[in-house]
Amino acid sequence: MTEPQMTPESFPVPPDRALIHRRAAFSHSSAGLERHYVDEESSEPSQESIRRRMADESLRLIDDLTNRPMDPMFEDARLLPAERRSPLSIWVNRILVFVICVLVGLAGTGIVQVLHRDPRQKVREKLISQVEAVSKRANDLNGQISDLNGNIDTLSGQVSGQGQNSTQIADDLTNGTSKVQGQGIVITLANPIASKDVRDNADQIKLVTDQDLQWFLTKLWSAGAEAIAINGNRIGTQTSVRTAGQTILVGTASIEAPYKIEAIGDQGALSDLMSRSDLQNRLHDLKNANITVNVSKQRRLNLNAVGLPNLSYAGRSH
């Protein structure tokens, strides 16, 4: 009866496949290296083991990975003493990493804000401030011109020794070159109040236009108004009411809603204007567009004079 032969734990490496690099250990720590041995009794395999080895030649890679997972040269690296770091150096490194992460985050946030910022916004704000400053200066100059015109008229009357005649007074009222004070009416036009439904149908909103203001001016002049002003800007013979982009201009001054039309004249005739039957269709259209129209009587209105324009003309050459 033959005893069964034990299969070795690992196949021996043939000389032609032996490792080129040999282990070189020059330290007392070489005793800590792992060792892999092959059973000496199985060093001379029998015929059956040779056949088994030849049959299992394809499993040599699995055997190497299982029994020899580490190259001897890498295994020698474990002989080196492990580097010991002090707790202070560990915490210093952690703090440095945290500070660097915070700085990178702040820098990234600043870059994102710069990229999302519209570079043209500053230019627009600067232009708007310049326009507002010029408009304010123009209004101040117009007020000074009105005061000077009033002083000139007063001094002219004192020099001539007699007051102005009715024709000159009427011309000054029509031209708007003199201040006017008296009773009259005030018509206020307001755009529709913004709401959710209005914002959803923004393309269908009807706003007060320059044509609406011109229509009211025409009707007030026809009703006998002696002087008219829109938002404090006196209407003269050469004062235009027009639209520039989305802004309404009275002369060169821009105005915004609500639009306040002040008219000096007979209160009865001016107030009855709004109840005339031929004007109800236009007022009804404004009401359907949610444009508010309010009319109020005023006992005392003060309208400034409009600045005199620079007139130019062409003449025949002699």
Alpha helix positions (H), the chain: 47-55, 60-67, 72-76, 87-116, 119-160, 166-175, 196-200, 210-222, 267-272, 280-288
pLDDT at 261: 92
pLDDT at 101: 94
Nearest residue to 238 via CA among 181, 312, 293: 312
**Residue 21, C-beta contacts closer than 8 angstroms, at least 6 positions apart:** 71, 72, 73
Token pair 């507002």 is at which residue?
132
Query: In order along the chain (318 residues), what is the average pLDDT of each group of 10 residues?
Result: 56 66 51 52 51 57 72 65 79 93 92 78 84 86 79 70 61 72 90 57 72 90 88 84 87 86 87 80 86 88 71 56
Gap between the Cα atoms of 132 and 136, Å rounded: 6
Pairing mode of beta strands 233-234, 241-244: unpaired
3-class DSSP state of 85: coil
pLDDT at 3: 57
Q: Please answer whether residues 38 and 7 qualify as being in contact, where contact means their C-beta atoms are separated by less than 8 angstroms.
A: no
pLDDT at 59: 73
pLDDT at 197: 47
pLDDT at 31: 55
Token pair 């109040």 is at which residue?
193
Q: Please answer whether residues 188 and 294 qualify as being in contact, where contact means their C-beta atoms are separated by less than 8 angstroms.
A: yes
Q: What is this structure's pTM? A: 0.48
Gap between the Cα atoms of 311 and 4, Å rounded: 131
Gap between the Cα atoms of 276 and 264, Å rounded: 19
3-class DSSP state of 176: coil
